[in-house]
Amino acid sequence: MSKIKKVVLAYSGGMDTSVILKWLQLTYGCEVIALTCDLGQEEDLEGVDKKALATGASKARVEDMREEFARDFIYPMFRAGAVYENRYLLGTSIARPFIAKRLVELARENRADAVAHGATGKGNDQVRFELTVNALAPDLRVIAPWRIWEMKSRSDLTAFAEKHGIPLSSGSKRYSMDRNMLHLSFEGSELEDPWLEAEAGSYVMTVPPEKAPDAPEYIELEFASGDAVALNGRKLSPAEMIRRLNELGGRHGIGRIDMVENRFVGMKSRGVYETPGGTVLFAAHRDLEGITLDREVMRLRDSLIPQYSASVYNGFWYSPERELLQTLMDKAQERVSGVVRLKLYKGSALPVARKSPFSLFRQDLATFEEDEVYNQADAAGFIRLNGLRIQGYRKDLIK
């Protein structure tokens, strides 16, 4: 195997990736380019590039990728109504292929031999990173230090950092956390025992629902072909929309999830997720579909949501099946346009009204008042015909 001369590293500036940066240099004698993606994680990224250079990187890039992330990854996923195991809105899952795509692009620009990431050998992220690289640049080598080095604990990392003069933050991390504009996830500490309630420190983006305002807040979300385009009449870009909905949802304690999920690598894990803006967006979008999607289209689309969601969760964003499903999902969204009014209150985002120029709701049919369109007597034959199949199935039980 040829010698590795240049590596592009997904670099956060934390202890793990800082240690990885130095370890790559010492292990392979290679040049390391550090890439930090601003995905709306609300962290101060000022000086991250300087820290990478001080640790030994030959180049360091901090890139604002919020709009592209929201427009090309989050919004398509929400058009598909994706939700994993009926609860998780895939905040971490959708970020990994996006970061990996940029790693590949930067590797190509700099004629690098490999890319590297800080995901562990127990988690899903390693799969998501590497399947993306495999899809976009199978010739690039992928280095996953946690699977090959001898360090096994944070104590080992701390000792390595101290030995090589890598600056460490003063505080200790209680949880394993991942944040971007869509969500914030927590794992570890008391969360490793499913019987222990998550403590207050595992929530940052949202207030406790019981401490949310006592008065509800009403908002109106406008959609065009399945995408949220305006809030309370004001046009917003995808990234601006998610940021503003995070503020609103967080203020009302919306979007807290505590769940045990099935990882792709074969184990169950417990996580706490905060997705305030995404939860509001999901509720509004689903409600608008109620009056704009044909019944059979909705039934077919809903049957495919688990497959689409698993594709995202398991790292198959660039797979043929996810791209095929996206085409179908987007076709179904062509008439999902209109406005939804929601009531935000004590942890809930409750749709209370909706309208659309493509509404399939017919008041002349649905009314309880007298109408000239629907002949109620026709229902008798409809019921009898649908009952024939059931009668045949149960004829041996009928006395």
Q: Which residues are catalytic?
A: 16, 96, 125, 176
Strand order in the sheet with 176-179: 176-179, 184-187, 268-274, 256-262
CB 246 within 8 A of CB 310: no
| Residue of 35, 93, 41, 102 lying closest to 66 (CA atoms) | 41
Contacts of residue 158, defined as CB under 8 A and 6 or more positions apart, other chains included, come to 15, 168
* Distance (Å, whole) CA 64 – CA 58: 20
Provide the greatest CA pair distance for the chain: 86
What does the alpha-carbon distance between residue 206 and residue 263 come to, in Å, rounded to a whole number?
25
* Angle (nearest 5°) at CA 69 between 97 and 311: 40
The angle at the Cα of 354, spanning 348 to 355, to the nearest 5 degrees, equals: 160
Gap between the Cα atoms of 236 and 227, Å rounded: 11
User: Running DSSP on this structure, what letter comes out for residue 72?
Assistant: I
**Contact (CB, 8 A) for 312 and 95:** no
**Cα pseudo-dihedral 372, 374, 376, 380, rounded to 10:** 150
Q: Is 269 exposed, middle or buried (0-12, 13-18, 19+ CB in 10 A)?
A: middle
Token pair, residue 149, equals 């080095």
CA atoms of 88 and 275, how far apart (whole Å): 9
Strands (DSSP E) found in the chain: 6-10, 31-38, 59-64, 114-116, 141-143, 176-179, 184-187, 217-224, 227-231, 234-235, 256-262, 268-274, 338-345, 348-355
DSSP-derived 3-state class of residue 348: strand
3-state helix, strand, coil in the chain (%, to 5): 45, 20, 35
